[in-house]
Amino acid sequence: MNRNLFLPGLKDVKINKVEICEHSIHLYVEMPVKPHRCPRCGTEGRKIHDYRIQKIRHFKWFERPTVIFYRKRRYVCQACGKRFAEENPFVERYQRFSKEW
């Protein structure tokens, strides 16, 4: 059975879990692993440094506020040692609201 779920603003995102709480909907998401380019030296790599959970407010879904728990992946450049976050299409750097909000 195909269990694909497509939401506006969450293109190419893997939805791991959906929780329907009393007053809100919680989505647990992450991006697929792919090579990223270092912002400092420009070399391409896919070595993962760590993961962080970022809480993001999204628009209402079924008349309930939606909260995205984004499992943000951080990479480390093996050439220069710079640590940087992966690129994603739904939230800007240092923001707590999605682009769709």
How confident is the model over 46-99, as pLDDT tens digits?
Answer: 999 999 999 999 888 778 899 999 999 999 999 999 999 999 888 998 899 988
> E-assigned strands of the chain?
14-20, 25-30, 36-37, 44-45, 48-61, 64-76, 83-85
61/67 Cα distance (integer angstroms): 10
pTM for this prediction: 0.84
pLDDT at 3 over 60: no
- Work out whether strand 25-30 and strand 44-45 pair parallel, antiparallel, or are unpaired: unpaired
Per domain, the residue ranges of the chain are 14-85
